[in-house]
């Protein structure tokens, strides 16, 4: 370890945080005003640099996170794809939501309508709390950073303590990509340490924050953001159990397939995914239980080490809490570095939801046996806010309809015959959901719509053409999509 890398993992001091926040605020206007083509160029340049440095970054990430090489290679690919996708979002211009009302003396409201032109602008410096479980995709150059930079906001990342060296290395690439396009270095900042994160969150220059992590940690930060003299939007993605409901038919006809899919979903990335299924409801006595026990007995499912000691300790505590419940038994697994299956009944969950609807962040899940579709539905309606709810079924019947309705009422993403762990970065993706899944159910943290979190609308009334931004000028020199007098974008 060189002198400079030792220095890199020291906590950022309060004075340094203040300087970074002030510099970000000073850089905000120039970054927001940079041409959309240049903003896109920065995002693509960053993706190119990450790709070019993969051979150095991947081993660094492996050393710091214990994640496997294939997993990290895939994650890096996802990360650079995401940056390029947001570059495209910037160029498309839909995110500006440009609306133009021409002056109308006969506007039926009863008073003439003035010339009104509305577009989204950057909210200001955004603070992103990096997650430990995705050292690329939800970290320094991850989704929140891509979305905020795309929106025209400077970004400050509070690095995850789980991969400080990698954070620092990626941070250098962000600075290089900005510099190449002539953007100020204040457009991006990186801070280390819990206190530094808190100080940045309460700094007057910070305009919004995004977070991915635990419910307790996220709620504490949300509370800080809300209690500021000037409260700011806090987009927290907190806890989710991601329940899976297996209907009687599916359990009968596809026991082996469901059993093996479940083991993969629970053990992939050592279960350290915010979309890992933590509760799987299966009919009492179904073959799935036997299939699972057999699969795991024949060949324990290796999960690898957890990300770090703090995550491992949290996992052990969470598992112990659930396992200590009088109605919970060990079904299979649970040796060191091995997936763990616990079992209970729907009745037990319904009568003690606080104890049993409890996220275990790691390779464990709770199998819940139910007696009939009435009990299954009751359970589906009781699980609270979730990122995902997955349904396995073979028929479109009343149960399927009722389960789907319950799932839509409680989750941001509803899946049929699919495991929730795969999370595609797309236009129609939704990664969010009612509390405690997130603190902002109206938003998503994955997919192109994630950019909306960092924008605010401004309307220009009767402003002379020459003072309007190009996006709002009558001749539309940038050809951005615009709705005019309520008609759809064109």
Q: Give, as ranges, the residues between 433 and 472 that touch its own copies (CB under 8 A).
A: 434-436, 439-442, 444, 448-449, 452-453, 455-464, 466-467
Report which of 141, 280, 307 is spatially closest to residue 214, judged by C-alpha positions.
Answer: 307
Three-state SS sequence of 284-316 = CCCHHHHHHHHHHHHCCCECCCCCCHHHHHHHH
Q: Is the peptide bond before 436 cis (omega within 30 degrees of 0)?
A: yes
The least CB distance from residue 451 to its own copies, in Å, is 12
Judged by CB under 8 A, the residue of 231, 285, 335, 374 near its own copies is 231
Cα separation, 122 vs 481, in Å, equals 18
Confirm or reject binding of residue 92 to its own copies (CB under 8 A).
yes
Q: Is the distance from CB of 50 to CB of 42 less than 8 angstroms?
A: no
User: At a CB cut-off of 8 Å and minimum separation 6, what does 275 contact?
Assistant: 240, 242, 387, 388, 420, 421, 423
Confirm or reject binding of residue 385 to its own copies (CB under 8 A).
yes
Stretch that binds its own copies, among 15-23, 39-47, 108-116, 259-267 (CB under 8 A): 108-116
The least CB distance from residue 425 to its own copies, in Å, is 5
Between residues 44 and 78, which has the closer beta carbon with respect to its own copies? Answer: 78
Identify the residue whose tokens are 């699980």: 383
Cα separation, 411 vs 417, in Å, equals 16
Stretch that binds its own copies, among 268-276, 290-298, 312-320, 480-488 (CB under 8 A): 480-488
Confirm or reject binding of residue 429 to its own copies (CB under 8 A).
yes
Within positions 10 to 69, which residues make up the interface with its own copies, using CB under 8 A?
Answer: 29
Between residues 159 and 455, which has the closer beta carbon with respect to its own copies? Answer: 455
Confirm or reject binding of residue 116 to its own copies (CB under 8 A).
yes
Within positions 390 to 419, which residues make up the interface with its own copies, using CB under 8 A?
Answer: 396, 400-401, 404-405, 408-409, 411-418
Confirm or reject binding of residue 99 to its own copies (CB under 8 A).
yes
For the record, the structure tokens of 211 come out as 């977070």
Between residues 97 and 180, which has the closer beta carbon with respect to its own copies? Answer: 97
Alpha carbon distances (Å) from 257 to 45, 170, 254, 260: 42, 40, 5, 5
The least CB distance from residue 335 to its own copies, in Å, is 30
Judged by CB under 8 A, the residue of 39, 78, 158, 358 near its own copies is 78
The least CB distance from residue 286 to its own copies, in Å, is 22
Judged by CB under 8 A, the residue of 1, 105, 230, 324 near its own copies is 230
Q: Is 388 helix (H, G, I), strand (E, B) or coil?
A: strand
Cβ–Cβ contacts within 10 Å for residue 252, how many?
14
Judged by CB under 8 A, the residue of 114, 285, 335, 374 near its own copies is 114
Active-site position among 64, 75, 237, 291 = 237
Within positions 232 to 291, which residues make up the interface with its own copies, using CB under 8 A?
Answer: 233
Confirm or reject binding of residue 100 to its own copies (CB under 8 A).
yes
For the record, the structure tokens of 230 come out as 């000037």
| Parallel, antiparallel or unpaired: strands 411-416 and 386-392 | parallel
Within positions 199 to 228, which residues make up the interface with its own copies, using CB under 8 A?
Answer: 222-223, 226-227
Asked if 64 is an active-site residue, the reply is no
Between residues 299 and 490, which has the closer beta carbon with respect to its own copies? Answer: 490
Between residues 278 and 432, which has the closer beta carbon with respect to its own copies? Answer: 432
Asked if 181 is an active-site residue, the reply is no
Stretch that binds its own copies, among 54-62, 271-279, 372-380, 427-435 (CB under 8 A): 427-435
CA dihedral defined by 427, 433, 438, 440, rounded to 10 degrees? Answer: 70
Upper half-sphere CA count for residue 468 (Cβ side, 13 Å)? 23
**DSSP letter at 448?**
G
x/- letters, 120..139, toward its own copies (CB under 8 A): -x-x----------------
Confirm or reject binding of residue 107 to its own copies (CB under 8 A).
yes
Cα separation, 128 vs 244, in Å, equals 30
The least CB distance from residue 307 to its own copies, in Å, is 21
Between residues 193 and 233, which has the closer beta carbon with respect to its own copies? Answer: 233
Q: Which helix (H) or strand (E) holds 319?
A: helix 309-323
Between residues 117 and 168, which has the closer beta carbon with respect to its own copies? Answer: 117
Cα separation, 67 vs 34, in Å, equals 37
Cα separation, 104 vs 115, in Å, equals 8
Active-site position among 274, 291, 375, 471 = 274
Q: Which helix (H) or strand (E) holds 31?
A: helix 14-33
Between residues 204 and 374, which has the closer beta carbon with respect to its own copies? Answer: 204
Confirm or reject binding of residue 430 to its own copies (CB under 8 A).
yes
Judged by CB under 8 A, the residue of 39, 41, 49, 117 near its own copies is 117
Strand partners, 236: 211
Judged by CB under 8 A, the residue of 12, 65, 82, 242 near its own copies is 82
Between residues 314 and 384, which has the closer beta carbon with respect to its own copies? Answer: 384
What totals of helices (H) and strands (E) does the chain contain, helices first?
Answer: 17, 16
Cα separation, 401 vs 423, in Å, equals 24
Report which of 269, 266, 203 is spatially closest to residue 67, judged by C-alpha positions.
Answer: 269
Residues with a catalytic annotation lie at: 237, 274
């Amino acid at each position: 370890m060189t002198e400079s890398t030792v220095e890199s993992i020291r906590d950022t001091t309060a004075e340094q945080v203040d300087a970074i926040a002030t510099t970000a605020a000073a850089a905000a206007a120039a970054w927001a005003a940079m041409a959309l083509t240049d903003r896109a160029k920065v995002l693509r340049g960053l993706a190119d640099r990450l790709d070019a440095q993969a051979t150095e970054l991947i081993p660094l990430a492996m050393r710091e996170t214990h994640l496997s090489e294939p997993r990290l290679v895939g994650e890096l690919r996802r990360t650079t794809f995401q940056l390029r996708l947001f570059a495209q979002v910037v160029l498309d211009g839909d995110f500006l939501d440009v609306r133009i009302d021409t002056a109308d003396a006969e506007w039926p409201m009863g008073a003439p309508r003035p010339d009104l032109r509305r577009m989204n602008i950057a909210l200001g410096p955004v603070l992103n709390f990096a997650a430990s479980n995705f050292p690329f995709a939800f970290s320094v150059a991850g989704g929140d950073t891509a979305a905020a930079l795309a929106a025209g906001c400077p970004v400050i990342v509070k690095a995850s303590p789980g991969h400080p060296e990698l954070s620092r290395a990626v941070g250098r690439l962000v600075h290089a990509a900005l510099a190449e396009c002539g953007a100020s270095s204040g457009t991006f900042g990186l801070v280390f340490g819990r206190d530094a994160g808190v100080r940045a969150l309460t700094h007057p220059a910070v305009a919004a924050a995004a977070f991915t992590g635990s419910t307790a940690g996220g709620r504490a930060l949300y509370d800080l953001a809300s209690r500021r003299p000037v409260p700011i939007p806090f987009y927290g993605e907190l806890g989710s159990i991601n329940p899976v409901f297996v209907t009687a038919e599916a359990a009968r006809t596809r026991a082996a397939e469901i059993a093996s899919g479940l083991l993969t979903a629970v053990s992939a990335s050592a279960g350290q995914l915010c979309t890992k299924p933590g509760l799987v409801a299966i009919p009492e006595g179904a073959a799935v239980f036997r299939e699972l026990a057999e699969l795991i007995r024949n060949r324990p499912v290796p999960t690898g080490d957890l990300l770090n000691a703090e995550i491992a300790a949290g996992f052990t505590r969470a598992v112990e809490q659930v396992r200590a419940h009088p109605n919970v038994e060990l079904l299979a697994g649970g040796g060191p570095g091995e997936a763990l299956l616990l079992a209970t009944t729907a009745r037990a969950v319904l009568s003690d939801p606080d104890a049993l609807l409890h996220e275990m962040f790691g390779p464990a899940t709770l199998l819940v046996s139910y007696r009939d579709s009435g009990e299954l539905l009751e359970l589906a309606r009781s699980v609270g806010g979730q990122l995902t709810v997955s349904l396995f079924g073979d028929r479109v019947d009343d149960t399927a309809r009722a389960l789907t309705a319950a799932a839509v009422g409680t989750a941001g993403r509803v899946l049929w015959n699919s495991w929730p762990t795969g999370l595609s970065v797309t236009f129609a993706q939704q990664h969010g959901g009612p509390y405690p899944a997130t603190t902002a159910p109206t938003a998503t943290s994955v997919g192109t719509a994630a950019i909306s979190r960092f924008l605010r609308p401004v309307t220009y009334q009767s402003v002379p053409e020459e003072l309007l931004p190009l996006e709002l000028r009558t001749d539309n020199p940038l050809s951005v999509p615009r709705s005019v007098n309520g008609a759809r974008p064109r």
